[in-house]
Amino acid sequence: AQSVSQHNHHVILSEAASLELGCNYSYGGTVNLFWYVQYPGQHLQLLLKYFSGDPLVKGIKGFEAEFIKSKFSFNLRKPSVQWSDTAEYFCAVTSNRDDKIIFGKGTRLHILP
Amino acid sequence: GAVVSQHPSWVICKSGTSVKIECRSLDFQATTMFWYRQFPKQSLMLMATSNEGSKATYEQGVEKDKFLINHASLTLSTLTVTSAHPEDSSFYICSARDGGDGTDTQYFGPGTRLTVL
pLDDT digits (tens, 9 = 90+) for B15-26: 999 999 999 999
Q: Taking CB atoms and an 8 Å cutoff, what residues of chain A touch B108? A: 36, 43-45
Contact criterion met (CB < 8 Å) for A105 and B42: yes
- A99-113, B13-27, B47-61: range with highest mean pLDDT: B13-27
Residue A88 pLDDT greater than 90, yes or no: yes
Residue A29 pLDDT greater than 80, yes or no: no
Residue A42 identity: Q
Chain B interface includes A36 (CB < 8 A): yes
Cα–Cα distance measured from residue A38 to residue B26, given in angstroms and rounded to the nearest whole number: 20
Question: What residue of B is the nearest CA neighbor of A95?
Answer: B104
Q: Do B69 and B79 meet the contact criterion of CB atoms below 8 Å apart?
A: yes
Residue B42 pLDDT greater than 70, yes or no: yes
Cα–Cα distance measured from residue A24 to residue A93, given in angstroms and rounded to the nearest whole number: 10
Residue B1 pLDDT greater than 90, yes or no: no
Q: Which of A42, A49, A103 sits opposite B105 (nearest CB)?
A: A49
Residue A103 pLDDT greater than 80, yes or no: yes
Q: What is the pLDDT of residue A30?
A: 83
Q: What is the pLDDT of residue A6?
A: 95
Residue A113 pLDDT greater than 90, yes or no: no
Q: Which of B49, B102, B105 sits opposite A99 (nearest CB)?
A: B49
Q: What is the pLDDT of residue B97?
A: 87
Q: Sorting pLDDT into bands at 50, 70 and 90, what band is B101?
A: low
Contact criterion met (CB < 8 Å) for A34 and B105: yes
Specify the higher pLDDT residue, A17 or A98: A17
Where does residue A79 fall: left (phi above 0), alpha (psi -120 to 50 degrees), or beta otherwise? alpha
pLDDT tens digits, A59-68:
999 999 999 9
Q: Do B89 and B37 meet the contact criterion of CB atoms below 8 Å apart?
A: no
